[in-house]
Amino acid sequence: MKFGRLLLCIWGVLLALNQTGGWSQEKLAVKADDMYFGTWTNESLDIQKSVNFLGGYKDYQKTSSEKPYAEGTEQIAKKWTDSDGNVWYHAFGTVASGPDAGFRFQNLMKFSKSGTVREQIWAQAFGNFKESGYPSRIDPTDKVHYTIRYRSKK
């Protein structure tokens, strides 16, 4: 009898998850002084400045711009350090404003050991954010999905 109730409970939980869209990507709690956060620039890009803060980001077309070109939510799902001391992240988010509002993405990011260089490659998220949706490697030859930025001292 107890086994039947357990199965009924499990079935109910699975049904509820199915009705709410399935399992969602978990976010990792990080501190505000994490190297991920700050202002990142590269004047050779179309979007020259990106500012990351707890829960989101703002992108600017020019490093001197004061009005964001786009902004959105972004959460860190996973963080690890490689054998060279570089810090890696999986992050996921949604563009909230700007020409791509509503676009959902998953990033693989690599921060240099010194914390001064950020490389990333993104993939569009379809449906729920999933671990399998992250790019598997940083590819600097991918001119559409790859960016490199440098920590701004401003």
8 CB-near residues (< 8 Å, 6+ apart) = none
Domain that includes residue 60, residue range? 26-151
Q: Is position 66 within any domain?
A: yes
Mean pLDDT of the chain: 86
Number of domains in the chain: 1
C-alpha 125/C-alpha 82 separation (Å) is 25
Q: What is the pLDDT of residues 66-105, one digit of tens each?
A: 999 999 999 999 999 999 999 999 999 999 999 999 999 9
Q: What is the pLDDT of residues 33-73, one digit of tens each?
A: 799 999 999 999 999 999 999 999 999 999 999 999 999 99
- Does the pLDDT of residue 14 top 70, yes or no? no
Q: Is position 11 within any domain?
A: no
Q: Is position 19 within any domain?
A: no
